[in-house]
Amino acid sequence: MRYNTRDMAIFLSRSPEETKRFAAAYAKTLRPGDVVLLEGEMGAGKTAFAQGVAAGLGVREDVLSPTYAYVNSYGPMFHFDCYRIQSERQAEELGFSDYFDAGKICLVEWSENIAGLLPEGCKTVTIRKVSATEREIVT
Ligand SMILES: Nc1ncnc2c1ncn2[C@@H]1O[C@H](COP(=O)(O)OP(=O)(O)OP(=O)(O)O)[C@@H](O)[C@H]1O
Ligand SMILES: [Mg+2]
């Protein structure tokens, strides 16, 4: 758990749809260049949250897990899945630093695998499984 000096908001989602709606509203608080670390275990709902952010930003394409590509680009947003990143060196070679500097909103799953490459001032969204259908989302 990460503690910030700023206020945190806690939301209890009862379905994937609610998570997406909450994320779409959260997207309105984001500015170009913001980097958002999506934290939570496998199946927590990080990709579902990213889908909601994309919808909130007006992206019409389907947002899928970037399993093979590591990064997918959707208009004003990049979506990273670093689960399979082997090393920060690999991430550097994939040009991650350039993505972070591109002035788009970056959503990053499994950012712990690229901790040394993250820019200053990242935002964090933490999703915790409460039950099969409930998620606690801390922004
Ligand atoms: N309230 C909820 N919010 C979000 N997802 C939920 C909720 N309740 C159930 N789910 C289910 O949890 C799963 C979330 O999957 P998702 O791919 O978003 O997780 P993830 O955190 O991205 O996992 P991974 O680390 O494997 O990428 C989906 O199967 C979804 O249907
Ligand atoms: Mg995912």
Q: Which residues surround ligand 2, an ion (CB under 5 A)?
A: 46-47, 65, 109
Residue 2 lies in a domain: no
Residue 34 alpha carbon to ligand 1 centre in Å? 23
Q: What is the pTM of this model?
A: 0.95
> What domain range is 62 assigned to?
10-138
Give the CATH number, domain containing residue 19.
Answer: 3.40.50.300
Residue 29 lies in a domain: yes
Q: Quick check: CB of 79 below 6 Å from ligand 1?
A: no
Residue 120 alpha carbon to ligand 1 centre in Å? 28
pLDDT 10s digits, 76-112: 999 999 999 999 999 999 999 999 999 999 999 999 9
Q: Quick check: CB of 16 below 6 Å from ligand 1?
A: yes
Q: Please tell me the total count of domains within the chain.
A: 1
pLDDT 10s digits, 32-85: 999 999 999 999 999 999 999 999 999 999 998 866 789 999 999 999 999 999
Phi-psi region of 32 (alpha: psi -120 to 50; beta: other; left: phi over 0): beta
Residue 33 alpha carbon to ligand 1 centre in Å? 25
Closest CA relative to residue 111, chosen from 76, 75, 138, 71: 71
Residue 32 lies in a domain: yes
